[in-house]
Amino acid sequence: MKVNRDAWGLVVATFVSAVALNFGWEMAQARLYEPMGTAWEATRRCFVASLGDGLMILLVVAGGAMLFRTGRWFVEPAPARFAFAAVAGLIVAVAVELWGLATGRWTYQVYMPRVPGTELGAVPLVQMVILTPLSLWLAAAWRSR
């Protein structure tokens, strides 16, 4: 099966954009989680988390490709498509946060803002609502050059 070079470039641009944006966010919110060890260990953990964030955003891209019947669904600006990306990012983030908390993979500091009525941290949910469409927009802008 021959893979379209443009499609592959868009996937790579999306992943790189997502990892870069999410790494910055992960580092900024790190103090809202229980200590992660030395500065080096915390940086490594934030980088690994940003790789996972990048994969989650690629999952949103795949879902959008199925829904909109094109892998380039986010290249042409359309508010409904970016709204889909934000909502899909939120759904994935809720699932990941529930899993992480349930398995003890991470725990929050007491000053992590919570979604009212839940134990879910608001900051990581807002992260995916903002950075999923922003990553797609950045990747599309990068590839259009």
What pLDDT, in 10s, does the model give residues 72-101? Answer: 888 877 888 999 999 999 999 999 999 999
Confidence at residue 71, expressed as pLDDT on a 0 to 100 scale? 81
Q: 96 or 5, which is more confident?
A: 96
Per-residue confidence at 40, pLDDT binned at 50, 70, 90? very high
For range 108-125, the mean pLDDT? 96
Per-residue confidence at 64, pLDDT binned at 50, 70, 90? very high
Query: In which domain, by residue range, is 78 found?
Result: 5-143
Confidence at residue 114, expressed as pLDDT on a 0 to 100 scale? 97
- The count of structural domains within the chain is 1
pLDDT at residue 2 tops 60: no
Q: Which amino acid is at 44?
A: R
Confidence at residue 1, expressed as pLDDT on a 0 to 100 scale? 44
| Sequence-distant (≥ 6) Cβ neighbours of residue 52 within 8 angstroms | 96
Per-residue confidence at 3, pLDDT binned at 50, 70, 90? low
Q: Is the pTM of this model over 0.95?
A: no
Residues 57, 13 contacting (CB under 8 angstroms): no
